[in-house]
Amino acid sequence: MRKYKPETKEELKKLVFTDGIKLNCVDTSLITDMSKLFYESKRKDFEGIEYWDVSNVTNMDSLFRQCEKLNQPFDKWDTSNVVNMEKTFFSCMKFDQPLNSWNVYNVENMDMMFYMAQSFNQPLDKWNTQKLITAAGLFRFAYKFDNYESLENWNLDNLEEVGTFCDDEDKLHTRLKVYMQAFYPKEDYITITKFNVKEIYDLIAKDKNKRIVRLRKRIESDFSKELSFVTKDYNFKTIEKAEKYAEKKYNAKKEDKKLEFIKDCHVLVKDKSREVDITVIKYIYSEYLSLKRMINRLEKIDNIVNLLDFESFLKFIREIYLENQNIEISGFIYAMYGGDEALKEISELILLGIDSKVFLIMIKFNIESKYAQSLLYKIYSDTKKTEVHKESGKMISELLEKMNIGYTEFRLRCIPNYGFNSQGEKILNDDYKLIANSDYSLTLFDIKNNKELKKIPQNFDEKLKEEIKELRKEVQKFINHTASILSITLIDGDIYSYDLFKEVFIDNYLMNKFSSSLIWNLYDKDKKIITTFRYSNDGSYSNCDDEEVKINADNFISLATPAEMDNNTIDKWRKQLEDYELVQPINQLTLVKLDKKNLKKEIKKIKSIEASYGAFKAFAKRYDMYTNDVLGYNDTIAYTFPANDGDIFTMSAKVDADTEYDEPVDITIDFKKSENKKEISSRFVYTFLVFIILDFMLTDLF
């Protein structure tokens, strides 16, 4: 019989903190809580603790926390009732004993259990972890642990939190990497490709963890061809088979309460012979609902939808959205299957505003449409919300990579036409239309009476009146915004296909007016320059001698620069613009006398510029320069413009936190060529010099 039999944790703690008391003399059979039992204890002798009766213990939180000398065997312990093992061996530097025999069936918390247990390296493949909820930092700083393979078959169906599981995720085997990816989709733990998707799918095919189920549904959709052995079951031949499948898979007891807003449905089957079973509709919503905000299109649901009468299905999901706008899933499904029209309607109704993460998700469903891309760009450009700006920027980067285009081209593609047709008219209703004038002012036109109106009638619809007011503001913003993009295009010398040129600069009436006052380079199919030309509003093209130029579908086009023209050509173009009374929207052929053969000499004239701090910042913003506004070494702020070919323009100024916008600062400029080029682009240097001279009013120097 043992000498001591404490009844409470407090009594036990007094014993273990008392010098001279051997642990093998203590009967712990009545103890249920051992949390922080040895925490801050200076005990070095743990002999006999391996024989303790812990069968009634439920809490081992921080039991041996910071017991740096501990290395007793615990394989005989009965841990079947333990629920909390958080930090049990936290910072037990010497501990490395087998624990595979432990019964951890009831354990829910293993957070930081082996945190800084720097010697521990035992297999744990026998552990039954099916009730485990959180395992954040389980092996953090456990540098010697290398038995991650033994964790591959752990039951993690109830896991909700994994945190920084270990220090080197590369040591994790595939299944745990997949779990990390499912929990933190924005990180890069494992890349799922067509080459490894089958292996990954097999590893998680039977897992019931909610995040893994969502991931599994996504990869079934994304890799349907590679997973045909699974997705073949989703290729329903008839609506009856789809109904039978939905009835089998839909968990009414679990899902009906979440889908109370679906009370009835009048969706028809494809041949319109009858209404589809409501269970099918509920199953569609429940499948997407289970994905939460990591939602994407599911092939098996698309296969079911293809067996329905789409018109009645679309009408149904639209009505569900209009009646339940506060329920995210209603908007997600309407946006997913309703396309551009749904996005347009949702953008006008969404309570959170379009600059919200919810609306960005809706855009993702339709990201290949030009309208969705334009919305994405608008959100990225206008939002004041940091998280939304970051997420929309990431979406744009992914899209550019997929489309294999640059950011400037993307911006050009996203320039709106505001509903104006090729004649410059926007129909408001049966009675009125707006006409875009040559100076971009807007005129209201009475269709029935066939006359222009100098002012809006008193009985005019208030909603239309507000639309006209906002449109006038937007058109003015359009002018400045487009001029900025064109200036950047001139700097970079981007070359575009004729199809893109036509789509952006000709077919868009508002851009059409811009393009007719600009001078363009024409290239052959091999991108060798042929001539310069101007577009006329009548649809023709002409050179500097006003002679017609023929353009074919395989030609390429870019903005022309004086840096690459002879003076005679420049003079002819300037005269032609003057004769036709055309005003350029950007400083393309503005008269600035520069020695094109010795631009280094011209740079020296303005190596240092004195201007207001506000003008300095405005210049950087106008030309989309990198502006972090963080004071660097010696209180210097530097803005950079990296060209597409690697050339870099930098401007910097010394300021401090108290510098006002109207205070003068000394601005230094610098040009650096790309490491991959022999010399810097003359177009790049010339164009920036012109912009600097005109924007900072330095023409007297030239």
Q: What is the DSSP string of 371-398?
A: HHHHHHHHHHHH---HHHHHHHHHHHHH
Residue 590: the pLDDT is 84
| Tokens coding 625 | 């320069």
Residue 71: the pLDDT is 96
The segments of the chain whose pLDDT lies below 50 read: none
Residue 630: the pLDDT is 57
In terms of Cβ atoms closer than 10 Å to its own Cβ (0-12, 13-18, 19+), residue 439 is exposed
* Alpha carbons 316 and 330: distance in angstroms, whole number: 11
Question: Where are the chain's structural domains?
Answer: 1-172, 228-411, 425-478, 485-579, 599-701
Is the separation of the CB atoms in 421 and 510 below 8 Å?
no
- In CATH, the architecture of 599-701 is 2-Layer Sandwich (3.30)
Cα 427-433-436 angle, rounded to 5 deg? 100
In terms of Cβ atoms closer than 10 Å to its own Cβ (0-12, 13-18, 19+), residue 311 is exposed
Residue 353: the pLDDT is 81
Q: What is the pTM of this model?
A: 0.74
Give SS3 for 27. Answer: coil
The arrangement of strands across the sheet holding 442-446 comes to 425-427, 432-436, 442-446, 451-453
Residue 542: the pLDDT is 96
Strand partners, 100: none
Q: Which amino acid is at 121?
A: N
Q: Residues with Cβ < 8 Å from 65, sequence gap 6 or more?
A: 36, 38, 39, 87, 88, 90, 91
Residue 24: the pLDDT is 93
Residue 435: the pLDDT is 94
| Most distant CA pair in the chain, distance | 114
Residue 627: the pLDDT is 76
